[in-house]
Amino acid sequence: MSREEVAALVKKGRAVLLDVRPAVEFQAGHIPRAISIPIDELPARVSESPPDKRVITYCRGAYCLFADEAIALLRTQAFDVARMEGGWPEWADER
């Protein structure tokens, strides 16, 4: 999902942006309105993801697998999920 599509959905309140990088990376910088649930904490915190909105994951960039792992886990719980193109570095570079 493109970063522009993600921004539009989040702004309209139709999606939440889930940052699955380690907490220290989130604290160093993240996309506005993103929620931090590190991938190693996600199984225990899956209930924090809203079931009535699309959940869009991101992590360290195109080659980071954390976002894909989060999608796989959330799909087992019947969440509507997608991955944002790129990740934090690409978003930060565009700003």
The residues annotated with a catalytic role in the active site are: 59
Burial class (CB in 10 A: 0-12, 13-18, 19+), 14: exposed
**Contacts of 93 by beta carbon, 8 Å cutoff, 6+ apart:** none
CA separation for the pair 11, 39 (Å, rounded): 24
**Contacts of 65 by beta carbon, 8 Å cutoff, 6+ apart:** 59
